[in-house]
């Protein structure tokens, strides 16, 4: 019997696309519940500007940083219903029927003197209180975040890490001698939180990995915030690394697509971050950091990648190597007389977005593969996925990039099964099934 060597791969043919964005909107207020109250009438000017920016950018999935948390999600609901989904100055309304908010460590009283100033401040409303909170914030929920999506969110599969203790990260960078053993038993790694939010798009799923690490400043020689920022970023790097995520009770296994998003408060070459902390993600083998979004308005060679007015690249949208192809993207930063230039000045950050083409993962597109033999021919069959097309290609060498499209071998579709008959295959020929979205 002749041998048939079968290799299954995916291709990069035209596919469905989505736009994913992150925006530190600087909508945090001075009191608990104040943001939701300000959004009630739909007239709050800063929120109207943020909404108009979003109506220009038109992302399909959006993370807002510095968006205060309330337990009922009222602020997020009002932001969508009264701002995003209401035309601002004639812009096209954007509806995000699927939203996610959750508790943030910011402003949650710790009961400890975390800033070591000699006082445990349990009265919300000032910087001293914020310094003793689980994450800096003058009241519970300040500087939180919210996810807005045009696609369904698999709420049952969401993972959050706001309660994870910093001490439980192996080889952590906790400043030695700064926090007592008792304080370390309460000190959480996430200054806000880390969320893995699965979003269902066109019959597939991607994991929206969102966070907002603390700025690596506003501390002392112990560099407690810089160290925490480093390890907050590291959490996602470990979450994506086989063998490194055991302390998180498992990470995101290979074969899953994801997008990391958020204000990471770390620039790869400048600023105060510890050991170029963001490079833990930019250099990660599962992350596609090949495309660096550039400012849309006036820029120079030295600032074209900046996402903030303090001259650093700190906001990121980073997709997985698997399951996506980056088409385009930008830092939305109009200047001068460009459209939207007067809208972005309410925040010291600018929106960052990527246009991503969905590429079918092999276990989504091809499964239950079998090879049978009859009358000297080989028959390859497999179970198919709706909306995915298939073709067969051949090569005589696995080490070559040249694969011949076999137009004369048709893929026969019967129900949810596909089959291809290969007449008398040669034992030195290699075949692959290529899957793609039309």
Query: What CATH number did the domain enclosing 408 receive?
Result: 2.60.40
Same domain, 335 and 433: no
Q: What angle (nearest 5°) sits at the alpha carbon of residue 254, between those of residues 199 and 10?
A: 85
Average pLDDT, the chain: 93
Q: Tell me if 120 is assigned to some domain.
A: no
Same domain, 343 and 429: no
**372 has a pLDDT exceeding 80:** yes
* Stronger pLDDT, 101 or 362, i.e. the higher one: 101
Q: Tell me if 260 is assigned to some domain.
A: yes
pLDDT tens digits, 5-19: 555 444 433 458 999
Q: Which helix (H) or strand (E) holds 37?
A: helix 34-38
pLDDT tens digits, 151-179: 999 999 999 999 999 999 999 999 999 99
Question: Does residue 258 contact residue 319 with C-beta atoms inside 8 Å?
Answer: yes
- Calpha distance 121→114 (Å, rounded): 10
Query: What local confidence, expressed as pLDDT, does residue 119 receive?
Result: 96
Q: Tell me if 155 is assigned to some domain.
A: yes
Same domain, 287 and 421: no
Same domain, 28 and 54: yes
Report residue 368's pLDDT band, with 50, 70 and 90 as the boundaries. Answer: confident
pLDDT tens digits, 23-65: 999 999 999 999 999 999 999 999 999 999 999 999 999 999 9
DSSP string, 335-371: -TTSTTTTTGGGSSB--EEEEEEE---HHHH-EEEEE
Catalogue the E-assigned strands of 173-319: 194-201, 204-211, 257-263, 315-319
Closest CA to 233 of 169, 186, 288, 178: 169
> Looking at the 3D structure of the chain, how many domains does it have?
2
Largest Cα–Cα distance in the chain? 86
- Calpha distance 218→114 (Å, rounded): 13
Of 319, 339, 362, the residue at which a domain comes to its end is 362
Which ranges in 159-315 belong to alpha helices (H)?
Answer: 181-184, 224-239, 279-282
Query: What local confidence, expressed as pLDDT, does residue 271 receive?
Result: 96
Closest CA to 18 of 298, 270, 354: 354
**241 has a pLDDT exceeding 70:** yes
* Stronger pLDDT, 434 or 32, i.e. the higher one: 32
Same domain, 239 and 200: yes
Q: Tell me if 261 is assigned to some domain.
A: yes
Of 362, 387, 405, the residue at which a domain comes to its end is 362
**400 has a pLDDT exceeding 50:** yes
- Calpha distance 404→422 (Å, rounded): 14
Same domain, 206 and 253: yes
Same domain, 276 and 411: no
Structure tokens at 200: 């269902």
Q: Which residues of 118-146 are buried (b: 16+ CB within 10 A; e: fewer)?
A: eeebeebeeeebbbbbbbbbbbbbbbbbb
Report residue 383's pLDDT band, with 50, 70 and 90 as the boundaries. Answer: confident
Q: Tell me if 329 is assigned to some domain.
A: yes
Residue 328: strand, helix, or coil: strand
Of 338, 362, 386, the residue at which a domain comes to its end is 362
Query: What local confidence, expressed as pLDDT, does residue 4 receive?
Result: 47
Q: CATH number, domain at 56?
A: 3.60.10.10
Alpha-carbon distance values, 221 to 136, 137, 318 (Å): 18, 22, 32
Same domain, 167 and 302: yes
pLDDT tens digits, 97-153: 999 999 999 999 999 999 999 999 999 999 999 999 999 999 999 999 999 999 999
Report residue 267's pLDDT band, with 50, 70 and 90 as the boundaries. Answer: very high
Q: What is the DSSP letter of 66?
A: S
- Calpha distance 358→436 (Å, rounded): 9
Tell how far CA 414 is from the center of its chain: 38
Q: What radius of gyration, in Å, describes the C-alpha atoms of the chain?
A: 25
Segment 342-355 shows an average pLDDT of: 97
Give the pTM.
0.87
* 398: containing domain: 366-437
Segment 200-223 shows an average pLDDT of: 96
Same domain, 356 and 371: no
Q: Tell me if 5 is assigned to some domain.
A: no
**3 has a pLDDT exceeding 50:** no
Q: Tell me if 117 is assigned to some domain.
A: no
Pairing of strands 61-65, 17-24: parallel
Tell how far CA 36 is from the center of its chain: 25
Same domain, 325 and 310: yes
Query: What local confidence, expressed as pLDDT, does residue 10 receive?
Result: 42
Same domain, 146 and 286: yes
Q: Percent of the chain having pLDDT more than 90?
A: 77
pLDDT tens digits, 305-348: 999 999 999 999 999 999 999 999 999 999 999 999 999 999 99
Q: 356: which strand partners?
A: 18, 326
Segment 71-86 shows an average pLDDT of: 98
Tell how far CA 185 is from the center of its chain: 29
């Amino acid at each position: 019997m002749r041998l048939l060597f079968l290799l299954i791969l995916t291709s990069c043919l035209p596919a469905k696309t989505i736009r994913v964005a992150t925006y530190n909107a600087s909508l945090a207020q001075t009191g608990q519940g104040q943001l939701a109250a300000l959004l009630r009438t739909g007239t709050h000017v800063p929120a109207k500007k943020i909404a108009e920016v979003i109506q220009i950018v038109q992302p399909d999935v959006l993370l807002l940083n510095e968006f205060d948390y309330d337990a009922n999600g009222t602020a997020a609901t009002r932001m969508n219903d009264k701002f995003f989904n209401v035309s601002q100055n004639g812009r096209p309304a954007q509806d995000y029927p699927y939203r996610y908010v959750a508790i943030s460590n910011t402003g949650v009283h710790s009961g400890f003197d975390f800033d070591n100033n000699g006082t445990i401040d349990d009265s919300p409303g000032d910087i001293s209180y914020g310094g003793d909170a689980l994450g800096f914030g003058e009241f519970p929920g300040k500087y939180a975040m919210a996810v807005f999506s045009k696609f369904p969110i698999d709420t049952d599969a969401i993972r959050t890490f706001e309660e994870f203790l910093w001490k439980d990260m192996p080889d952590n960078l906790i400043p030695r001698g700064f926090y007592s053993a008792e304080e370390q038993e309460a000190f959480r790694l996430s200054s806000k939180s880390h969320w893995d939010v699965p979003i269902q798009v066109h019959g597939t799923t991607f994991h929206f990995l969102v966070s907002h690490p603390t700025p690596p400043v506003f501390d002392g020689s112990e560099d407690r915030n810089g160290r925490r920022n480093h390890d907050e970023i590291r959490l996602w790097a470990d979450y994506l690394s086989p063998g490194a995520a055991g302390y998180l009770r498992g990470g995101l296994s290979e074969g899953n697509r994801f997008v990391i998003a958020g204000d990471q408060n770390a620039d790869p070459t400048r600023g105060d971050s510890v050991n170029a902390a963001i490079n833990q993600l930019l250099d990660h083998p599962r992350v596609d950091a090949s495309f660096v979004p550039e400012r849309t308005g006036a820029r120079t060679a030295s600032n074209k990648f900046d996402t903030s007015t303090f001259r650093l690249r700190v906001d990121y949208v980073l997709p997985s190597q698997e399951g996506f192809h980056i088409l385009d993207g930008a830092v939305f930063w109009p200047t001068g007389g460009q459209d939207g230039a007067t809208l972005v000045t309410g925040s010291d950050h600018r929106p960052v977005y990527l246009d991503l083409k969905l590429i079918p993962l092999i276990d989504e597109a091809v499964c239950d593969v079998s090879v049978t033999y009859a009358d000297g021919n080989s028959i390859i069959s497999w179970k198919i996925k709706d909306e995915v097309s298939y073709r067969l290609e051949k090569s005589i060498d696995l080490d070559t990039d040249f694969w011949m499209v076999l137009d004369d071998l048709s893929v026969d579709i019967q129900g949810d099964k596909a089959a291809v008959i290969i007449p008398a295959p040669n034992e030195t020929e290699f075949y692959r099934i290529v899957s793609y979205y039309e």
